[in-house]
Each structure stands twice: as C-alpha cells, then as structure tokens.
C-alpha cells in the first residue's frame, strides 16, 4: 500500500512538471514580457526610490518619469544599432564571400606546396559553398528587419508593464503575500522573505548588467581603435550574449574575429582581435565579477548548462538571456525556504552547506533511534 502511494505521488509530480513545462512553452508570448517586466522593475526600483526622494515625487510620478527617460534612451540606442545593422547587412555578405575565397585560395596553395595536407585541411570547394550559403543567409537579414516593428511593440508593452509595477508595487506586494499566507505569522515571515529575495535579486541584476555594459563598452572602444567596422554593434552583442554563460562568450567573441578576417583578409588581425577579446573576458570573469559579485550566487557548471538548455528550448534566444537571472532568483527563493535548501545546495558551486550538514546529521541520528526502537520492539514481541 505504501509503495503504491509513493508511486502515485511520483507520477503526480512528473505530470505536474510536464504540465508546467507545457504551460511555459504555450504561454511564452505572455510570460516572456511578464518575466522581462518583473526583472526590469526589480532593477529600476532603486532609481524610482531616488527620484521620489530627490524630486519629491510620488510612486506614479517617478515611474512615469523613468518610463519616458528609458524610452528616449532606448530609441536612441535602437536607432544607432539599426543603422549599423543595415550597413552590415549591405556589406557583410560580400565580406563573407571574399573571406571564403581568400581561405579557399590559401588552402589551394597549401595543397600545392604540401600534398600531405590534402587529407587534413577542408576542401576548397566546400569552403566556397559555405561562404555562398552564409552570404545568402546574411542577405536574408535585410528582409527580417521588418520584424523589428514587432520587437519594438513588445518592448513598449514591457515598458508599460514596468511602469505599472513600479507605480503599484507597494500596493500589489502585500496583496500577493496575503493571497498565499493564511495566518498573520506566516504573513510577516513571507514579507521578510520577499524583501530579502528582492534585495538579493536586485543586487545580482544590477551587478551583472553593469559588468556586461562595461564589457561591451571596453570591447567597442578596443575594436574601434583597431579599425574594426561596426564596433558599437559588436560591443552591444557581446554585452547581451555575456548573459549566456560559456556559449554567449564564444558567440560574442567569434563574430568580431570573423568580421575582422573578412574585412582585412589578415589572419594576424583576426588573431589580435581574438586575443584582445580573450583578455577582456578573462579580466571580467576572473577579476571584476568575483570582486563585485563575490560567490554568494555561484552556480555550478552543470546547473548553468541544464538551465540554459531548458530555458533556451522553452523561450528561444530570450530564454537563453534570461536563464541566469531566473535561475539565480530561483536559487535565492530555495535558500529562504528551509525544506528547499537541499535543492539550493545542489545548484551551488560550494562543496556543502554547514546548515545542511547539521540537518543531515540530525536526520541520521533520528533514523538510528527509529531503527533501535524497531529492533527493541522485535525483541519484545517476537513472531
């Protein structure tokens, strides 16, 4: 009977997980703007608080002012990047063809001078075919610019949601807490937990965003000084892709290397760009990020990759960008719930949590006591 009950419970858990995944996938057009709005509201909350204190505004006035400032800055950045993207779509296809032709000629020369390399290096015809295919795909980017209108509309909707969350956050938060807490004691504990989680998530988002913006600015200036085209766009791409661990850094670094190789035809220039990008990312990853963020939100590599695959599958590119903020938020929530701390410890990069060790030791003691009582009962009441 007990085994049947455990099996039924496990089946219900599996069905609930699959149901949640299906809902996240089917409702992604609704949930993605909501997730973006919640993260942006958490990020911009200190700004509206400072506006209210300095400018003597109420919550609605500060939110409206921030909305207009964010909209103006966003339109300016979008205009700059769109102009660069249009220019890139006009010249990048020819750059890719030229780069493929140059690589094909060099491989031909290597075959002629060193025939032994014929089974090692790729076929020149294959290189030309790949260059033509990629050039054709890049030309298709110009047709996809019509989708920017949809992106702008969705971004405007997200900003509207952020406006209402910032203006009504103080009113909505207690109501949401009361909706899930039946008693007064639970209400106070939930309020403390929500404030702690919000503070930690905000600190993480602010630190991660500032680090990524700094990385993008440094990379843009470095590429501009080296004469690489579209330095601003490449820096912005690196800043956005840096939200995606491991894979994002590879993508953000490979694009300027390929562009440099196509623009100059010089392998040395491409290697120099790769070296500069590696140095910048290394400085960010091993010095800046540990100094600013510490190890409080460290996630182990397995958790990072699984969550990137999970959210990337459900929400695409936006899911990859949001994977780390969402996972960090979930880890913080699990840390605040005593029964869920083992899951937070499983996601952590640290070896073990002392609190969990004490809990496990206490559980082991209780298990030993229960085993002893059972053994004594068997001796007292033999079959």
Residues comprising the chain, all counted: 383
Residue linked to tokens 């949601």: 161
Question: Is pLDDT of 358 > 60?
Answer: no
Per-residue confidence band for 17, with pLDDT thresholds at 50, 70 and 90: confident
- Per-residue confidence band for 133, with pLDDT thresholds at 50, 70 and 90: low
What pLDDT digit, counting tens, does each position of 150-162 carry?
Answer: 777 788 888 889 8
Query: Rounded CA gap, 131 and 133, in Å?
Result: 5
Q: Are 293 and 204 in contact (CB under 8 A)?
A: yes
297 Cβ neighbours under 8 A, 6+ residues apart: 200, 204, 328, 331, 332
**Predicted local distance difference test score (pLDDT) of residue 200:** 77
Residue with the two structure tokens 């298709």: 140
Overall average pLDDT of the 46-70 stretch: 86
Contact between residue 228 and residue 259 where contact means Cβ atoms under 8 Å apart:
yes
Give the pLDDT of residue 380: 40
Residue, of 57 and 78, whose pLDDT is higher: 57
Q: What confidence tier does 327 reach under pLDDT thresholds 50, 70, 90?
A: confident
Which residues, 6+ apart, have CB-to-CB distance to 310 below 8 Å?
319, 323
Q: Per-residue DSSP letters for 219-233? A: HHHHHHHTT-TTHHH
Q: What is the band of 218 on the pLDDT scale with cuts at 50, 70, 90?
A: very high
Computed over every residue of the chain, the mean pLDDT equals 76
pLDDT at 265 over 80: no
Residues 33, 14 contacting (CB under 8 angstroms):
no
| The dihedral sign for the CA sequence 45, 194, 14, 361 | positive
Q: Give the Å distances, CA to CA, from 63 to 22, 52, 201, 240.
A: 34, 9, 20, 25
Per-residue pLDDT at 382 exceeds 70: no
Confidence of residue 184 (pLDDT cuts 50, 70, 90): low
Q: Of 215, 237, 214, 218, nearest to 226 (Cα)? A: 218
pTM of the full predicted structure?
0.70
Which pLDDT score is estimated for 217?
A: 92
Question: Where residue 142 falls among pLDDT bands split at 50, 70, 90?
Answer: low
Inter-residue contact 115 to 49 (CB < 8 Å): no
Using CB atoms within 10 Å of the CB of residue 189, give its burial: 0 to 12 exposed, 13 to 18 middle, 19+ buried: middle
- Summarised one tens digit per residue, pLDDT across range 269-307 is 888 888 999 999 888 888 887 777 665 566 787 888 888
Q: What is the 3-state secondary structure (H, E, C) of 357-371?
A: HHHHHHHHHHHHHHH
């Amino acid at each position: 009977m007990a085994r049947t009950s455990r099996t039924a419970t496990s089946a219900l858990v599996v069905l609930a997980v699959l149901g949640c995944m299906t809902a996240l996938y089917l409702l992604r057009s609704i949930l993605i703007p909501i997730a973006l709005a919640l993260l942006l509201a958490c990020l911009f909350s200190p700004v509206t608080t400072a506006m209210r204190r300095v400018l003597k505004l109420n919550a609605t006035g500060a939110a409206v002012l921030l909305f207009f400032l964010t909209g103006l800055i966003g339109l300016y950045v979008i205009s700059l990047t769109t102009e660069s993207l249009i220019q890139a779509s006009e010249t990048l296809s020819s750059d890719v063809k030229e780069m493929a032709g140059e690589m094909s000629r060099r491989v031909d020369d290597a075959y002629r001078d060193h025939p032994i390399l014929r089974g090692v290096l790729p076929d020149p015809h294959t290189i030309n075919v790949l260059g033509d295919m990629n050039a054709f795909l890049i030309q298709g980017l110009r047709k996809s610019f019509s989708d920017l209108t949809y992106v702008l509309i969705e971004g405007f909707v997200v900003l509207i949601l952020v406006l209402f969350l910032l203006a009504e956050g103080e009113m909505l938060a207690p109501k949401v807490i009361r909706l899930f807490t039946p008693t007064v004691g639970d209400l106070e504990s939930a309020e403390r937990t929500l404030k702690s989680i919000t503070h930690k998530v905000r600190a993480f988002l602010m630190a991660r965003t500032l680090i990524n913006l700094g990385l993008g600015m440094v990379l843009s200036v470095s590429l501009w000084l080296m004469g690489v085209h579209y330095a601003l766009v490449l820096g912005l791409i690196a800043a956005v892709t840096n939200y995606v661990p491991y894979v994002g850094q590879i993508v953000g670094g490979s694009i300027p290397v390929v562009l440099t190789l196509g623009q100059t035809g010089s392998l040395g220039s491409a290697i120099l760009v790769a070296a500069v990008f590696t140095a910048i990312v290394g400085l960010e990853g091993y010095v800046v990020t540990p100094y600013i963020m510490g190890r409080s939100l460290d996630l182990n590599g397995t958790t990072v990759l699984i969550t990137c695959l999970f959210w990337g599958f459900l929400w695409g590119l936006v899911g990859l960008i949001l994977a780390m903020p969402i996972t960090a938020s979930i880890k913080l929530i699990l840390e605040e719930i005593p029964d869920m701390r083992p899951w937070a410890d499983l996601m952590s990069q640290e070896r073990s949590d002392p609190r969990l060790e004490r809990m496990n030791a206490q559980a082991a003691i209780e298990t030993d006591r229960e085993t002893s009582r059972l053994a004594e009962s068997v001796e007292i009441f033999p079959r």
